[in-house]
Structure 1
Amino acid sequence: MFATALYSMSHADFVKYLLQAKNCLDEAEKTTQEVDKEAWLELGEEWMEMARKAQRQRLYER
């Protein structure tokens, strides 16, 4: 049961981080200021890295 709870949590985290990354990319597309675009893209990459880590954890726990 504990492993199932961890799996569910990791999957939920993966989805949450992926959606945050997409939101950042969407904001980067909307902005007209280059400095803002760079900041949104950097933040999006940080969320993607968190999603990758959650996915690796999820695969490891299987």
Structure 2
Amino acid sequence: MLLPLGWTAVKEYRIYILDDDGHIDAPSINVRCLTDDEALSAARKYLHEHVVEVWSGSRRVGRLEPRK
């Protein structure tokens, strides 16, 4: 898809919170971001005691682990 000059496409991302066994612990959190880095930053606020993964379609963007 071509966008007019100066426009940027917003992408859909899903944030998953995983339990201690690595299984999805809650419904996904859907966010719209301009970049993968922005989506990973958005996921950091859900990073408490559990691992968080960020996905864009079938592509895993990243996995964040809490500090121990």
TM-score w.r.t. length of structure 1: 0.29
Q: TM-score normalized by structure 2?
A: 0.28
Find the structure with the greater CA-based Rg. 1
Q: Which has the higher contact order (CA 8 A, sep 6+)?
A: 1
Higher strand share: 2
Give 1 or 2: higher helix fraction: 1
